[in-house]
Amino acid sequence: MLSLDVTKKCLVAEGWSPIFASKQIQDALQRAAFDSNSQVGAIFQVLHTQEAPPTYFRTNKFTSSFQEIVEAYGVAKYQEANPAVYTIVTFPFLFAVMFGDWGHGICLLLATLYLIGRERKLSSQVLFTYDL
């Protein structure tokens, strides 16, 4: 949430962030103040509240796709188990049931192995450019 303070001379922003990201947020705010030539720096203050925080699950390159599959159906409540962990195990089996044809499965496996092998080269390419 972003709003003006009582004097209407500064902006006040409130939001949720993981505790481990506090230092990164402070660094980003300092860089933004420096890059914008601001005369006053940003003030980062932790507020304590009784509200339940939103759900956040730390992901990596491997687990992020499974987390997105789970979040397509819904997000677990705060302090509930992350269903993406179970999805990592069960999704391949469910996918195998949907696509029971061995030939189709082998084609998908070969295409996947090709993409994994070329990941570095393919990730450095620009797919689309937009000129406005």
pLDDT value at 99 more than 80: no
Between residues 26 and 42, the one the model is more confident about: 26
Whole-number average pLDDT of the chain = 83
Mind spelling out the 3-state secondary structure of the chain? CEEECCCCCCEEECCCCCHHHHHHHHHHHHHHHHHCCCCCCCCCCCCCCCCCCCCCCCCCCCHHHHHHHHHHHCCCCCCCCCCHHHHHHHHHHHHHHHCCCHHHHHHHHHHHHHHHHCHHHHHCCCCCCCCC
- Residues 5-29 have a mean pLDDT of 85
Between residues 24 and 8, the one the model is more confident about: 24
Q: What is the pLDDT of residue 100?
A: 67
Q: 13 has which bridge partners? A: 2
Residues 67-97: tens digit of each pLDDT: 888 888 888 888 888 888 888 888 877 777 7
Distance CA 57, CA 84 (A): 9
Evaluated on CA atoms 84, 88, 90, 92, the torsion sign reads positive
Distance CA 78, CA 61 (A): 23
